[in-house]
Amino acid sequence: MLRLAFDLLLIGAGIAAYFIFPDNLGFVTRVLIMIIMVLSLDLVLGYAGVATLGHAALYGAGAYGAGLFAIYYSPDPLTGLLVGAMAGGVTAFVSGLILMRANGLTLLMLTIAVAQIMQEIVNKERAITGGSDGLLGIDMDPIMGVYAFDFFGRTGYWYALVVLLVVFFALKILVASPFGNMARGIHESAPRMRAIGTPVYWRLVAIYTISGIVAGIAGALSAQVTELVSLEAFGFALSAEAMVMLILGGLGRLYGAIIGTIIFMVVHHTAASIDPFNWLFVIGTMVLIVVYFVPEGFMGLPVRLRRWMRWQK
Amino acid sequence: MNAGLRVKNLQMHFGGIVVADNINLSLEPGDRKALIGPNGAGKTTFANLLTGNLTPTGGSISLDGMDIKRMKESKRVRAGVAKTFQITTLFRHMSVRENIRLPILERMGRGMRMFKRADSYPDVEEEIEQMLSQFNLQSLADVEVHELAYGQQRLVEMALTMALKPRILILDEPSAGVAASDAHIITDAIENLPDDLSVLIIEHDMKLVFKVASRIIVLVNGAILCEGTPGEISKNQQVRDLYLGARHDG
């Protein structure tokens, strides 16, 4: 019952945001897209325990995949979204074949390397990708031939919200499924999972591929809504920020990804508009406080508070 | 005559260090054998060779006549060889029920299913209840494993492994870390295992070994020193000198 209440609250908040922030729809849409990216990271890091600092490789693949598809083949948004998802998924599968054999620091370094290699490939293929100038000339058709993207970002907002809700509820089903339970099992004890007959490596490749599909969707959405893709889509900053957002919200909880992203982006937005040069100080302090006092993230706050109140009595 | 597990001339060395030296062993359906030996004798290494965690450098391992020496650990489990761990490696932040659910789902080939809740398979849930009842864990079903006492965790460990419905069960020090007052819980659980199951117990607790094993194999420096009934082993002077000593008074 509580779960259903939270789900309805999420849908309600998504609809309400449109009316509460009519002049900031561009920013709110960016938040929605980032939530999808962080949900994708939660699947691998929070659920399966695979530490990665190169998740932008999958996001970037989706962004460039959808962008290039729109320029060279078809500007249809839904087909483009599918292409972006596939680009993210294929990138995750191919890189996952190598990455999922590693762990610890080696894995972290390899994930960064994959993102940097992809960034450099896109940079070198200037004739197709625009290189460091970014991918220009994306001009999307109306969604389903009806809803045209507008200057105020209204269509973009609803489009991103619907995609986010579809992704969120799909992931909710996935993490509660046997496959999702196996991912948690791998996180808790990979040797034990092998001992119960689980092909851990292939399961991790599958999880990483699904995560790539979701990150690809986030990248594709970004490309379609902003009609621009730059090399930053593969940037280390994006991967690192996504990880910070997830840690802030709480790993292994889909709502943690949502809360962490909203808090990070709102604080970032507000702090950067007050002091464009020192906003990182605010973010750094916030992360420090959360990691030190609530290592489970904001989603762990109710449990901490309950424990603290019991201790007070 | 090929039913069960056959190990012939099994060898394993790490560089110049021999950890398994021409080991021969057979486990037939219903066998209750124990592998004993001093620390560093190579017991756990041998168990890891049987489960596929390590690949031997020589010799053969066959299950029902099929060579499984090169078979991966996960495939060996599906073929029927399962092992409990020396140090408990359960899914600590999952409930007992969830712990037992995972091996059942995996055994039934449902590990890749993505569109239905894991707890919505009636046959799986029924089997979980059976396992909980068999190991007297009903009252702890919804408790997270890290909140359980060590002895209870060992029981969950056995329940989890038995949920795989193995034909060959390797129990690696099942009573390690369990308080002496709770040791009977483990002994009872072993005695209640299905009759047709082949069990190899690796254990230091001689009381447990002499109670549940019908044959005992003594491993010293990676090689089998002798094999016999508990009576024969307890009378073997070489074993007494090398290992049993004051541990067992015959």
Of A180, A191, A206, the CB nearest to B89: A191
In the predicted structure, residue A117 carries a pLDDT above the cut 70: yes
pLDDT at A151: 87
Tokens of B57: 């450098």
Mutate to test the interface with A, among B99, B112, B128 (most CBs of A within 10 A): B112
A131, A123 contact by CB (below 8 A)? yes
The reply to whether residue B111 touches residue A176, judged by beta carbons under 8 angstroms, is no
pLDDT at A295: 86
pLDDT at A265: 94
pLDDT at B234: 84
Q: Looking at beta carbons, which residues of chain B come within 8 Å of A173?
A: 114-115, 117
pLDDT at A304: 82
Give mean pLDDT, residues A179-187.
96
Of A181, A182, A196, the CB nearest to B77: A196
Give mean pLDDT, residues A189-203.
93
CA–CA min distance A170, chain B (Å): 9
Residue B248 burial by CB count (10 A; 0-12/13-18/19+): exposed, middle or buried? middle
pLDDT in tens, B221-232: 888 888 889 888
In the predicted structure, residue B242 carries a pLDDT above the cut 80: no
pLDDT band at B17 (very low <50, low <70, confident <90, very high): confident
In the predicted structure, residue B39 carries a pLDDT above the cut 60: yes
Higher pLDDT among residues A290 and B241, named by residue: A290
Q: What is the distance between the alpha carbons of residues B77 and B159, in angstroms, rounded to a whole number?
A: 15
The reply to whether residue B90 touches residue A192, judged by beta carbons under 8 angstroms, is yes
CA–CA min distance A255, chain B (Å): 18
Residue A118 DSSP SS3: helix
Q: Looking at beta carbons, which residues of chain A come within 8 Å of B51?
A: 195
Is A184's Cβ below 8 Å from some Cβ in B? yes
Query: What is the identity of the amino acid at A29?
Result: T
Q: Looking at beta carbons, which residues of chain B come within 8 Å of A177?
A: 113-118
Tokens of A133: 């100038």
The reply to whether residue B111 touches residue A198, judged by beta carbons under 8 angstroms, is yes
The reply to whether residue B73 touches residue A184, judged by beta carbons under 8 angstroms, is no
The reply to whether residue A179 touches residue B106, judged by beta carbons under 8 angstroms, is no
Q: Looking at beta carbons, which residues of chain B come within 8 Å of A192?
A: 85, 89-91
Of A184, A195, A203, the CB nearest to B73: A195
CA–CA min distance B222, chain A (Å): 23
Q: What is the distance between the alpha carbons of residues B62 and B1, in angstroms, rounded to a whole number?
A: 12
% of chain B exceeding 90 in pLDDT: 45
Residue B125 burial by CB count (10 A; 0-12/13-18/19+): exposed, middle or buried? middle
In the predicted structure, residue B241 carries a pLDDT above the cut 80: no
pLDDT band at A113 (very low <50, low <70, confident <90, very high): very high
A87, A61 contact by CB (below 8 A)? yes
Is A195's Cβ below 8 Å from some Cβ in B? yes
pLDDT band at B250 (very low <50, low <70, confident <90, very high): very low
Q: What is the distance between the alpha carbons of residues A42 and B218, in angstroms, rounded to a whole number?
A: 49
pLDDT in tens, A38-57: 999 999 999 999 999 999 99
In the predicted structure, residue B168 carries a pLDDT above the cut 50: yes
Nearest to B159 by CA among B204, B213, B97: B97
Q: Looking at beta carbons, which residues of chain A come within 8 Å of B112?
A: 178-179, 203, 206
DSSP B150-203: HHHHHHHHHHHHHTT--SEEEEESTTTT--GGGHHHHHHHHHTS-TT-EEEEE-
pLDDT at A308: 82
pLDDT in tens, A208-267: 999 999 999 999 999 999 999 999 999 999 999 999 999 999 999 999 999 999 999 999
CA–CA min distance A69, chain B (Å): 29
CA–CA min distance B126, chain A (Å): 16
% of chain A exceeding 90 in pLDDT: 79
Residue-range domains of chain B with CATH: 5-247 (3.40.50.300)
